[in-house]
Amino acid sequence: MALHNRVSRKELKERILQDNTPRTTISFYCYFKIADPTQFRNHLYKSFSDIGVMGRIYIAEEGINAQISVPTENLDTFKEFLYETDTALNNLRLNIAVDDDGKSFYVLDIKVRNKIVADGIEDADFDMANRGRYADAETFNKLSSDPETIIIDMRNHYEFEVGHFENAIEVPSDTFREQLPMAVDMMQEHKDKNIIMYCTGGIRCEKASAYMLHKGFKNVFHLEGGIINYVNRVKESGLENKFHGKNFVFDQRLGERVTEEIIAKCHQCGKPADTHVNCVNDACHLLFIQCEDCAKEFDGCCSNDCKDFIHLPTDQQKGAAQRH
């Protein structure tokens, strides 16, 4: 039987907003073989619940992908448990959030999936064991300074538009499964060049580097720990930071401020802005960039239609939603 939460999400969210317990937001992943993902999932759920872990974790036969927050006082306990769970996880790199208020998650969700990253790869010969070389922050800076190096962003458009590395190439799609073959096609004339792939925390670019090698590319790198680890390392080491803007993250924050530059624009008025919000009309919930002025003008909505909708009486809102 799968273990799960028995308290409503609304109540759980209210609890974390009122709780002043210091928490640390962490992301990590690992590609390794898991024989029984369901059993592994339940083992993690019980142990993580006991020490107050919240967040989103995916388990599959190919490994684990996690974005979580941990009570700071339990951080050492969490690490000890994780590192002892499987030899593949021993001393696994944990990406600590750059800009964190401790309110990133309010519930623990651990789900079993077919893959920890949906990739659309059906080739039985594809092997994650044959992946690109890690590029740490110093190596990334050195390689990216070479005009013969190509930097590929393996994130979605809405992530790219608020922040990215200098001279990075966007693969114009909002699904990773579409980006993989597109990246291969885009790079066909550059098979002999150094190619560095990056993403938020490393999980997508690591798989992408393996896919590129699988397709015949030779000099493929992936940024170790992604943007999150890179930003932490350049701060610690006093290295030049080549990432500009905000790093989009998939939790309540929707972004970590890396530099003060605002490189995106409000989707409604075109003024400089890089704050992602969801339309407050629950029937829409569109993710978009909105400046403070437009947030006031549109009451947090993406359009006048949605603004008009949220001010309808409740019974009319329900009737309109049913008709659609």
Compute the C-alpha angle 235/256/267, nearest 5°. Answer: 135
Sign of the CA dihedral with 99 first, then 101, 104, and 108 last: positive
Task: Mention every residue, 6+ apart, whose C-beta is less than 8 A from residue 301.
Answer: 279, 280, 281, 284, 307, 309, 310
CA gap 259, 77 in Å, rounded: 33
The answer to whether 288 touches 282, Cβ cutoff 8 Å, is no
Q: Does the active-site annotation cover 30?
A: no
Catalytic residue among 199, 266, 291, 294: 199
- 287: which DSSP letter? E
The answer to whether 178 touches 153, Cβ cutoff 8 Å, is no
Helix (H) or strand (E) holding 275: none
| Residue labelled with tokens 């397709």 | 215
The phi and psi torsions of 295 (rounded to 5 degrees) equal -60, -40
CA gap 318, 324 in Å, rounded: 10
| Residue labelled with tokens 């937001």 | 25
Q: Annotated catalytic sites, by residue?
A: 199
